[in-house]
Amino acid sequence: MKPVLMFTMETCPYCKQAFKWMDELCEEKKKYSEVEVTVIDENLQPEVAKQYDYYYVPTYFVDGIKVHEGVPTKDIVRNVLEKALED
């Protein structure tokens, strides 16, 4: 299983939606709840955020590779979790 980094901002409505979809997806498929997602709020951890190449939040990196940046959909969040589960 690959690690996931999720870059967010507390005030971002799209980040809140992404968290909601992550919770829903974990309820729908228990395997998703095994994915380790490290959440980094770019305002609280700017020293970490500056090490990564992105502009919009939420942004997901799977195993160090950016797989999504910006406004998500439930399908996009599902794809992120699926990529983390790939061998």
The average confidence (pLDDT) of the chain is 96
Peptide bond before residue 13 is cis, with ω within 30 degrees of 0: no
Tens digits of per-residue pLDDT, 30-42?
999 999 999 999 9
In the chain, the number of structural domains is 1
DSSP 3-state assignment of 72? coil
**Is the per-residue pLDDT at 87 higher than 80?**
no
CATH code (residue 70): 3.40.30.10
Q: What pLDDT is attached to residue 27?
A: 96
Token pair belonging to 44: 């609280």
Q: What pLDDT is attached to residue 56?
A: 97
Amino acid, single-letter form, for residue 71: V
Contacts 24+ apart (CB under 8 A), 23-28: 24/74, 25/74, 25/77, 25/78, 25/81
Q: What pLDDT is attached to residue 75?
A: 97
Tens digits of per-residue pLDDT, 39-60?
999 999 999 999 999 999 999 9
Residue-number span of the structural domain to which 22 is assigned: 4-85
